[in-house]
Structure 1
């Protein structure tokens, strides 16, 4: 089984989870900067005013802001062909609503992109990976107000023009469907927001996303813009018809975002649902045309696990991926996420059958409490996770005919966990000596999986053999 010769192997990070330097370079405050550390049992808290007694992991993170050359050089050594990172919106427009960009922030990303190119690595840039400036929340309620659309389009236009010809692949909004369950991450919308408010904010994001896609194509016809779905894929609990329909409804609750981005209109099932609930979206006369014109070029999504849904499923926790059901056929990570390599193949078929567009897996990986011993980590389990998922990805390509363009491992070096704010939840092929309190030398160490991923990339996925 073979992948295309120009297949993009690499990894993904986000600014709020790796950069640190939260008060340097003219940066403003974003939504994650006011989130405290938590753990598997303790949710992160949101404090609009910084409490000096609390730990805010994004403030230091792993100092990628200053050490990006060291980190990207390690990615080059592994053989990366693509590095997906985010530009922190609050580094470019500190409050979000500013009329002039912060030149120091733009210069920083000038350097990051140039260094990627120097290393032969194609950049894929996420324009908002949970980094909505909280200035917009304080001034007009962030994405609840249509002003947020203009702010986001202004920011994207600045970035598109600045890096014209230097960046080809763009993801405007990371995991846009998280607005349903985690609105603070998704767009600095209160976690207490009603469902109606979440759907209004989602509508404004979808309009903004469509406008940005059209703008990117106008600035450079070579630009490729994708949708980015937070990969929620579910199985029905049983073959009982009620469980089947519950699962169908559950999936539609999240897939409607991607339907709009790929088809250019709100699907009938979503319009019917909103009407039943008495929710009127703030539609303006030009919006239908904006959505129709602003469809994406490719699909991207994160994939970590699958969940099980039945007729009794009432709530879904996006952080712990729990629905009240457990899949007895799958093992779990230390954080309770079920490990399902075959589910990756299933998800690829699901998305390709639905849209018939090229697909990038832009996040996939497994976390553990890795222990550094003698300058390395013996993470053989991570090799098997990678092997099993790549095997299923290749089946999706060769047996099922899915057009997969790239595979990007989430957190190729250890970074702060978005869901829990922990450092000990480690995904990387590279161990970073920083603990949950932000203490440590910051030194980078290669885990034993580093050499394995390098071999996988060098063979374009052909050599998956594991030697202990």
Structure 2
């Protein structure tokens, strides 16, 4: 790690005003200036898919698909040439939930007031690339899109909320998918670089916290969602993973360039990577299972190794050799990766996984994009995900020990079927709204996970903040459902986009408000 990198990492901690961690179990033992917030993605919350000069994104062509089982849901996120063509020919929002999403595009001002009422100090969100460059390769950016985010960022800061902004969150312009082949095409690097320079320059002083790619490892798990790579039959003798790894390499180079742009254009800003942290436990104490879990964890760390350390690990290089995968790198790529390392690591954590050399001996449970061996020691959520709060402490300590850079939990939350009770009666001055959502299960999820995060802080981990996934109910990335709800604010719309889109504070909203007011002391109640 270079001295320049170390200086930037320390600056990121200073910018978050972190102090020495308090002892484990102490009341409100989160650092001063800890960033408390919620998180979303433009394609899952905004709507307005064809307004304000926006072009179609890769998410706008994914239809609602009923998930008959949740053991392997990655197929729900895939796209083919035929499915894209059908979607492009289909006008309006019907059947394509992400086109209307939570209607934040039209309701953002009132939404920000709700965020302020909750006491948020951070809002992790994304910019829709296709709202800035509708086709991705346009000669000039779309001014109306730039103004939309400028107004949003300005209002957030006026209300004391720091924007934490992801440059690319599963929403690249569709034109770059259909005409360029997504991130498998190296030409997309320069287009992303221009996009990054445009937004960082425009929002200099408004955005102090940037993330480059959301859950960048998704490019290997589901190439269309993560990398805009349409599923096609590989040439004979070619490993289908070849294209995914090539696309991922291009994203790493683009991320490194974006990091350097942020540091050049706005030296006060900080930039991080974002990993879907998928911690693997061995299924048994059999050394073969332990080594398998170690390998699976190291393959998850490939992404942070490149973005934090600036180079590929020996684990992945050997894997490529063994599998016959040849990732083409241009002269200068290694130097670019080394020069474009991030200031901090952000990550999502929802569940842990189990590894074994003999998975057929164990039952399976659902997962985020793929199935995993059932862990007999853990309960599962409604969607079959392992409920593992202690895994968050394990993840935090593991990332801190490996990289020694500040950490930021930017996604964590519970997807559940919420019940709206009460009703609206009367009109005008006589209007009475008794609608509510009682979600103690979500509060319990937050309490259990945040207690473990607090333990990690006491262990010495430098933790910058926590942004709960959802905030507002939004359309699920995988199943395109609204009824798989994560928010502390209920959005009155169903899977078909039918409803008033009214915002209703859930019980968890008021609990989260107290959490922020007490800097975590409510966890001891």
Superposition TM-score, scaled by structure 2 size: 0.86
State the SS of the aligned residue for 1:422.
coil
State the SS of the aligned residue for 2:281.
strand
- Higher mean C-alpha deviation, range 36-45 or range 437-446: 36-45
State the Cα distance separating 1:223 from its structure 2 match: 1.6
> Pick from 451, 459, 466: which aligns with 2:518?
459
Other-structure match for 1:336: 384
- Alpha-carbon distance between aligned partners in 2 of 1:121 and 1:283, rounded to the nearest angstrom: 40
- Alpha-carbon distance between aligned partners in 1 of 2:368 and 2:440, rounded to the nearest angstrom: 26
> Pick from 283, 295, 305: which aligns with 1:237?
283
Other-structure match for 1:345: 393
Other-structure match for 1:153: 193
> Pick from 62, 75, 96: which aligns with 1:35?
62
- Alpha-carbon distance between aligned partners in 2 of 1:134 and 1:31, rounded to the nearest angstrom: 5
State the Cα distance separating 1:190 from its structure 2 match: 1.8
> Pick from 38, 52, 55: which aligns with 1:25?
52
> Pick from 480, 483, 486: which aligns with 1:427?
486
Q: Does 1:81 align with 2:121?
A: yes
State the Cα distance separating 1:465 from its structure 2 match: 4.9
Answer with 1 or 2: which has the greater Rg.
2
State the Cα distance separating 1:334 from its structure 2 match: 0.8
Q: Is the 8 A contact 1:180 1:254 kept in 2?
A: no
- Higher mean C-alpha deviation, range 307-316 or range 242-251: 307-316
- Alpha-carbon distance between aligned partners in 1 of 2:67 and 2:287, rounded to the nearest angstrom: 34
- Higher mean C-alpha deviation, range 111-120 or range 33-42: 33-42
Q: Is the 8 A contact 1:82 1:122 kept in 2?
A: yes
Give the direction of change, closer, same or farther, for the CA distance of 1:248–1:31 in structure 2 (3 Å limit): same
State the Cα distance separating 1:253 from its structure 2 match: 2.2
Q: Is the 8 A contact 2:36 2:465 kept in 1?
A: yes
State the Cα distance separating 1:40 from its structure 2 match: 3.6
- Alpha-carbon distance between aligned partners in 2 of 1:267 and 1:436, rounded to the nearest angstrom: 42
Aligned length: 464
- Quote the RMSD (CA, aligned, Å): 1.7
State the SS of the aligned residue for 2:307.
helix
- Alpha-carbon distance between aligned partners in 2 of 1:386 and 1:317, rounded to the nearest angstrom: 21
Other-structure match for 1:164: 204
Q: Is the 8 A contact 2:410 2:468 kept in 1?
A: yes
Runs of 4+ in 1 over 3 A off after TM superposition: 51-54, 313-321
Q: Render the CA deviation track for 1:40-83: whole Å, top value 9, x for unaligned.
A: 42625632122649611111111001111111111111110000
Other-structure match for 1:253: 299
State the Cα distance separating 1:316 from its structure 2 match: 11
Q: Is the 8 A contact 1:40 1:335 kept in 2?
A: no
Q: Render the CA deviation track for 1:203-229: whole Å, top value 9, x for unaligned.
A: 000011011101110112112010100
State the SS of the aligned residue for 2:522.
coil
Q: Which ranges of structure 2 fall in alignment gaps of 5 or more residues?
A: 1-25, 70-75, 235-239, 423-434
> Pick from 128, 132, 147: which aligns with 2:172?
132
Other-structure match for 1:6: 33
Other-structure match for 2:84: 48
Q: How does 1:202-281 map to 2 (within 5 A)?
A: 202-281=248-327
- Alpha-carbon distance between aligned partners in 2 of 1:274 and 1:17, rounded to the nearest angstrom: 34
Other-structure match for 2:440: 380
> Pick from 363, 368, 371: which aligns with 1:322?
371
Give the direction of change, closer, same or farther, for the CA distance of 1:449–1:113 in structure 2 (3 Å limit): same
State the Cα distance separating 1:317 from its structure 2 match: 7.7
Q: Render the CA deviation track for 1:297-341: whole Å, top value 9, x for unaligned.
A: 000000111111111349998635422x11112111110011111
Other-structure match for 1:312: 358
- Alpha-carbon distance between aligned partners in 2 of 1:180 and 1:362, rounded to the nearest angstrom: 21
State the Cα distance separating 1:176 from its structure 2 match: 0.2
Other-structure match for 1:142: 182
Q: How does 1:53-72 map to 2 (within 5 A)?
A: 55-72=95-112
- Alpha-carbon distance between aligned partners in 2 of 1:112 and 1:17, rounded to the nearest angstrom: 17
Other-structure match for 2:508: 449
State the Cα distance separating 1:285 from its structure 2 match: 1.1
Other-structure match for 1:403: 462
- Alpha-carbon distance between aligned partners in 2 of 1:432 and 1:39, rounded to the nearest angstrom: 20
- Higher mean C-alpha deviation, range 277-286 or range 401-410: 277-286
